Structure 1
Amino acid sequence: MSSLIEMPELVLERIIGFSHFTAVLTLRQVCRDFRNFIDDLKDSKLPDAKFSKIEIELKEDGEKIIFEFVGPDDSLYRLKYAEAGNRRKFNGKGKMVMNADIIDVAIQDVELILRFQKSPLKRLYCDSNAYIHIDPSIHCLPIKLNDMFKMLNRKIKTRELSIVITNFQSEVTIILPIADLETLECIDVYSYYNDTGIEIDDIVKTEQWKKVKEMNFKVPALNLKVEDICHFSRFNIKVNTISAKDLDCLKKTITSGSSNVEFSCLKVINFDENEEILNLWGPAYLSESSSQWYFRSKDSGEDILVVNYQQDRDKIHFDVFELEDVPNGAIVQEYNEN
C-alpha cells in the first residue's frame, strides 16, 4: 500500500494548497520527508492563513515573548516563549526547546508561519514598551525580526502598523522597515511611560514615514520640522512646542494645494506664541474655549481651511470646511502666497 508521501508531487501540492494552514503545519511534523517537501514548496503553493492581525509583545514576567495571530473569523493562535527552561507554548500546549536560543526559536516559528500569509493584515502591533523593565537579552528580538525580513528580501503587508515604545527612536526605526510600502496606510507610535519625547531625526528619513498617508505619533516628537508632516493626509502628532512661524508655514502649505491634509491635529504641550499668531493671522473667531481662523484655498473657492486652537486642551486642529459651513461673523481670509 502506497504512503501519502509517495503520491505524485502535483497531487500532494494540490492537497496542501486546499488545506488549512494549521493542517499543513501538523503534516510538516509527521516525518522528515513531509517537512522537506513542504519547506521546499514555493510560498505561492501554500494556503493563505488570512490573518487579520498579528501582535508581538515583550513581557516583563513569565512568558517573555508573545505572538498572537488573529484569523479572519477572530480565531486566535497564540505562541508564548519563556527563557526559563526554554519553554514554548502554542495555544496553551507547552514544549521544551533543548539546546536552542529561545529568541532564535521564536524567529524561526514566525518565519515559518508568515509563509502562509498572502493577504494584507489589517494591523501589525509591536509592543516593546516592556524594554524599560525586562531582561536586556530580549531586546534583540526586533533586531532579529528586521534581519529576518532582510534575509528573506520581503516585507509584511499591513494596512496599519502600531508600535509601542519606551525611550529610543531606534525602537521605531528597527520596526518600520519591515512594513510593505504599497500596503501601509497608517502608522501609530505611542508609549505608556514616555512623556519627555524622542528625537525623530532618523524616523522621518524612513521610506515608511515618507510614504504613509496617516500618522499618529502620541509620544512628544522632538526636532520635528513642518516639512516632515505636510505630506500626511491625516495626522495626530504630539510636540513639546511649535513656533507661530511654523504654524503659518503649515497653513500656507495646506492652502496652496501642495498638501492633501484632511482633519488633523497637533497636540502642543507648551504653546506660548499666542501674540505672534495673532500678529500673523489677525483676530480669531471665538467659540466657547477655542479660537478659530478661516483661510480660503488657492484653487478652490468652496474649500476653507479651519485652524482651531483649543487652548484648554493644548490642541491645534486643521480641518477643511465648505464655505457654507463657516459660522456667521467669522472672517474668511483670502488666499495669500506671501
Structure 2
Amino acid sequence: MTSIIEMPELVMEKIIEFSDFQSVLTLRQVCRDFRNFIDDLKDSKLPDSKFKQIKIFAIFDNSKNTITFDFVDPEGSSIRIEYSEMENSRTFETEDNPEQITTTILGNSNIVDVAIRDLELALKFQKTKLEWLYLNFNNFQLQNGSSIHTLLIKMNTIFTNPNRRIKTRRIAISTFNESLVLPMLQLADPETLEVINFLGMDHVPEVEAGEIVKTEQWKKAVQLRCEFYLMNLNIENVCHFSTIFSKMNLITSRDLDTLKKTFLSSSKFEKWDLHCKYFDEQEELSDIWGPALDSGSIREWYFRMKTSEEKILRIGVIYTPMIRREHNLIHFDIWKTTDVPDGAVIQGHSEN
C-alpha cells in the first residue's frame, strides 16, 4: 500500500493548498519527510493565511513560563498556540471551537525553537501585510534559568534580516524592560510600517530616544503613539509624523516654533498631541507668536495654513498641576476658519 508521502508531488501540493494553517502545522509533525516537503515548498504553493493581526506574548513568572501566539483573521476569529516550558508542550485552541483543544508534547525539542519555526511558517503563509503586529513582553525577563529568555534574541537573528522582517502596517509594543523596545521595533519591515504604538508601561516610565530614532522603522512611519516619556528627543526627529500622541520630558518654545513652521508648510499633517513634563516658556511663546487667546486654563494661537486659506492651525497649551509635578498638554490641530472663536487673531503663515 502506497503511503501518503509517496503520492505524486502535484497531489501533495494540492493537499497543502486546500489545508488551513493549523492543519499544515499538524501535518509537519507526521514525519520527517512530510516536514521537509512542506518546508521546501515555494511560497506560491502555500495557501494564504490572510491573518490581519499576530499577537505575541512572552510570560515568565514563578507559576507559568509560556509563549503565546494569537493569529487573528479578518472576521476577528483567532487561532491561539501556547507553548509551555514547564510541560514542554504546544497547545492549539481556536476561538470558533473553544472546547476543541489539542496538546502535543514536544519531547526533546526546545519550545523557543518550535515556536519560532511555527511563526516562520505562519509568515510564509501570509501573502499580504498584517494590519497589526502586537508584541507583549510585560512579564518577560532575561533570566538564564529559562529558555524563553532567548525568544527575542532568536527572533531578531531571523527577522531583522532585511528580507525576513515582518510586513505589518502597525506595530504595538509593550514591555517592562527598556532594553527590549529597540529590538522589538526592529522586527517590523520599515517598508510597510506606518504606525508605531509604544504602549504605557508603569515599570518603564522613561525610555531613551537615542537609538530608536535612528531606525528606519522610526524614520519611515507616519503615525506615532508613545505612552512613556521619550528622553533626550530632538524635536527634528518627530517632524515627519503626520499624527503624534507622545509624552516628552522637555520641550522649549523654540522647539514649538520649529514644529509650527513644519506644520504650516505641509498638507500632510493632521494632529499632534504632546504631553510634556517640563514646559515653562509660555511667556517666551507670546514673544515669538504674539498674544494668545487666553481662557485661563488654555492659551491658544491661530495661524493660516500655507496650503489652504480655509484651514487654520490651532496651537493650544494647557497647563495642569499634577501631584508632585507640573504637566503640560500641547495640541496642534487643523480647524476651519469658521470655527475660530470670536476675539482670536488669525495670523498669516508668514508672520513670526
TM-score above 0.5 = yes
Question: What are the superposed Cα offsets for residues 95-121 of structure 1, whole Å, 9 maximum, x if unpaired?
Answer: 333334332222222222322122222
Which whole-Å CA distance do the structure 2 matches of 1:23 and 1:51 have between them?
15
After TM superposition, list the pairs within 5 Å mapping 1:37-186 onto structure 2.
Answer: 37-59=37-59, 60=61, 61-91=63-93, 92-131=101-140, 137=146, 138-150=148-160, 153-168=163-178, 170-186=179-195
Which whole-Å CA distance do the structure 1 matches of 2:318 and 2:143 have between them?
39
Q: Identify the match of residue 305 of structure 2 among 286, 289, 297.
A: 297
Q: Is the 8 A contact 1:55 1:68 kept in 2?
A: yes
Change (3 A) 1:53 1:40: same
Structure 1: 5+ residue stretches without partners: none
Please tell me the residue identity of whatever aligns with 1:300.
Answer: S
CA displacement at 1:182 relative to structure 2: 3.1
Compare 7-16 and 291-300 and name the one that shifted more: 7-16
Which whole-Å CA distance do the structure 2 matches of 1:135 and 1:66 have between them?
20
CA displacement at 1:34 relative to structure 2: 2.3
Q: Is the 8 A contact 2:54 2:133 kept in 1?
A: yes
Please tell me the residue identity of whatever aligns with 1:35.
Answer: R
TM-score when scaled to structure 2?
0.87
Greater per-residue strand proportion: 2
- Secondary structure in 2 aligned to 1:184? coil
Which whole-Å CA distance do the structure 1 matches of 2:251 and 2:260 have between them?
13
Q: Is the 8 A contact 1:252 1:337 kept in 2?
A: no
Question: What are the superposed Cα offsets for residues 223-243 of structure 1, whole Å, 9 maximum, x if unpaired?
Answer: 111111110010111012211
Change (3 A) 1:245 1:194: farther
Instruction: Determine whether 1:22 maps to 2:22.
Output: yes
After TM superposition, list the pairs within 5 Å mapping 1:232-243 onto structure 2.
Answer: 232-243=241-252
Which whole-Å CA distance do the structure 2 matches of 1:26 and 1:160 have between them?
30
CA displacement at 1:125 relative to structure 2: 0.7
Please tell me the residue identity of whatever aligns with 1:281.
Answer: W
Question: What are the superposed Cα offsets for residues 166-192 of structure 1, whole Å, 9 maximum, x if unpaired?
Answer: 242x31221222212232221100233
CA displacement at 1:308 relative to structure 2: 1.3
- Secondary structure in 2 aligned to 1:220? strand
CA displacement at 1:151 relative to structure 2: 5.5
Q: Which residue of 2 aligns with 1:316?
A: 330
Please tell me the residue identity of whatever aligns with 1:280.
Answer: I
Question: What are the superposed Cα offsets for residues 203-232 of structure 1, whole Å, 9 maximum, x if unpaired?
Answer: 001001000110001110001111111100
Q: Is the 8 A contact 1:54 1:68 kept in 2?
A: yes
TM-score when scaled to structure 1?
0.90
CA displacement at 1:157 relative to structure 2: 1.7
Which whole-Å CA distance do the structure 1 matches of 2:229 and 2:162 have between them?
34
Which whole-Å CA distance do the structure 1 matches of 2:109 and 2:272 have between them?
48
Q: Is the 8 A contact 1:230 1:261 kept in 2?
A: no
Which whole-Å CA distance do the structure 2 matches of 1:183 and 1:139 have between them?
28
Which whole-Å CA distance do the structure 2 matches of 1:53 and 1:256 have between them?
35
Change (3 A) 1:159 1:100: same
Change (3 A) 1:265 1:57: same
Please tell me the residue identity of whatever aligns with 1:327.
Answer: P
Please tell me the residue identity of whatever aligns with 1:263.
Answer: K
- Secondary structure in 1 aligned to 2:49? coil
Which whole-Å CA distance do the structure 2 matches of 1:100 and 1:13 have between them?
27
Q: Is the 8 A contact 2:162 2:189 kept in 1?
A: no
Which whole-Å CA distance do the structure 2 matches of 1:236 and 1:247 have between them?
15
Q: Is the 8 A contact 2:201 2:228 kept in 1?
A: no
% same residue: 48
Equivalent residues, number = 336
Change (3 A) 1:12 1:89: closer
CA displacement at 1:52 relative to structure 2: 1.6
Q: Identify the match of residue 278 of structure 1 among 268, 278, 286.
A: 286
Which whole-Å CA distance do the structure 1 matches of 2:58 and 2:345 have between them?
52
Q: Is the 8 A contact 2:56 2:68 kept in 1?
A: yes
Change (3 A) 1:63 1:93: farther
Question: What are the superposed Cα offsets for residues 44-71 of structure 1, whole Å, 9 maximum, x if unpaired?
Answer: 2111111121111122341332211122
CA displacement at 1:152 relative to structure 2: 8.4
Change (3 A) 1:75 1:256: closer
Q: Which residue of 1 aligns with 2:97?
A: none
Q: Which residue of 1 aligns with 2:7?
A: 7
Question: What are the superposed Cα offsets for residues 221-272 of structure 1, whole Å, 9 maximum, x if unpaired?
Answer: 0011111111001011101221111111111111123x73211200112222
